[in-house]
Structure 1
């Protein structure tokens, strides 16, 4: 494991959230989609199941997407801004049979606040570890999805939307076409 478990979970959830607003269309189309996102990324605590909550979570995406495109100084500014804005106060917490991990806002804080702060804390770990190169944009030319490369050899190039498979098929077809000429 490269980072603490809660850091890896927050990074993967942040990338997934950012990718719900990519060129593939609206991935958080309704409250039911937010419910599915909440469950898929094992969020706990307050979840209102409302349109207001959905709008607040969607509103985070541009700010979080910026992290994948920014230099270190801008990333630090975004992280510090999120932590300051949400009055983060890191504390060690255990719940739901999970080992101790950091929470920086109460479990009853709004979902968008918890996502923002958990992402900021995780990105802070990435910055402190000198691992910003693990935050990448998908290598497929028509894809703008982001990804977190947690592989040992830092070799992940494609997002989870099937882009690696599409790239392999395209390369295979190009080789076949070249062999025919």
Structure 2
């Protein structure tokens, strides 16, 4: 494990949230999709199931996407701004069946606030660990999704949208075509 479990979960959820507005179009179209996202990424605490909450979560995505394209000083500015705006005060907490981990805003804070602060805290760990190269853009030419490479050897190249499979199929077809020529 490179990062603490809660940091890895937050990084994965942050990349997934950014990718809900990727090259495949809007994949967070309604409150039901936000509900599913909330459950898949094991968020806890307040969740209003409203259009206003959905708009607030969607509004967060461009700021988080910028992290994958920025240099370290800009990333630090984004992280610090998010933490300041939401008055983050890190505290150790345990809930449900989870071991102690950090929460920096109360569980009853709005979902978009909790998402922003959890993302900022996780990215802060990435910066502190000197591991920004683990934040990548998918290598598939037709994809602009972001990913977090949590592999030991830093070898992950493709996002979760099946781009690795598409690249492998394309390479296979190219080898077959070359062999026939």
Fold-level similarity (TM above 0.5): yes
Q: Which whole-Å CA distance do the structure 1 matches of 2:163 and 2:94 have between them?
A: 37
Q: Structure 2: where are the runs of 5+ without partners? A: none
Is 2:85 the partner of 1:92? no
SS at match of 1:147: strand
Deviation at 1:146, TM superposition (A): 0.3
Q: Which residue of 1 aligns with 2:167?
A: 167
Q: Which whole-Å CA distance do the structure 2 matches of 1:97 and 1:37 have between them?
A: 20
Q: Which whole-Å CA distance do the structure 2 matches of 1:137 and 1:21 have between them?
A: 14
Q: Which residue of 2 aligns with 1:124?
A: 124
Q: Which residue of 1 aligns with 2:107?
A: 107
Which runs of structure 1 show a deviation greater than 6 angstroms over 4 or more consecutive aligned residues?
Answer: none
SS at match of 2:109: coil
Alignment TM-score, normalising by the size of structure 1: 0.99
Q: Which whole-Å CA distance do the structure 1 matches of 2:33 and 2:78 have between them?
A: 26
Alignment TM-score, normalising by the size of structure 2: 0.99
SS at match of 1:170: helix
Q: Which residue of 1 aligns with 2:48?
A: 48
After superposition, the C-alpha distances for 1:67-111 in whole angstroms (9 at most, x for unaligned) are 000000000000000000000000000110211100000000000
Deviation at 1:23, TM superposition (A): 1.2
Deviation at 1:141, TM superposition (A): 0.4
After superposition, the C-alpha distances for 1:3-59 in whole angstroms (9 at most, x for unaligned) are 000000000000000000011011100000000000000000000000000000000
Q: Which residue of 1 aligns with 2:80?
A: 80
Is 2:66 the partner of 1:66? yes
Q: Which whole-Å CA distance do the structure 2 matches of 1:29 and 1:152 have between them?
A: 35
SS at match of 1:121: helix
Q: Which whole-Å CA distance do the structure 1 matches of 2:154 and 2:98 have between them?
A: 28
SS at match of 1:119: helix
SS at match of 1:136: strand
Is 2:26 the partner of 1:26? yes
Aligned positions of 1:145-160 closer than 5 A? 145-160=145-160
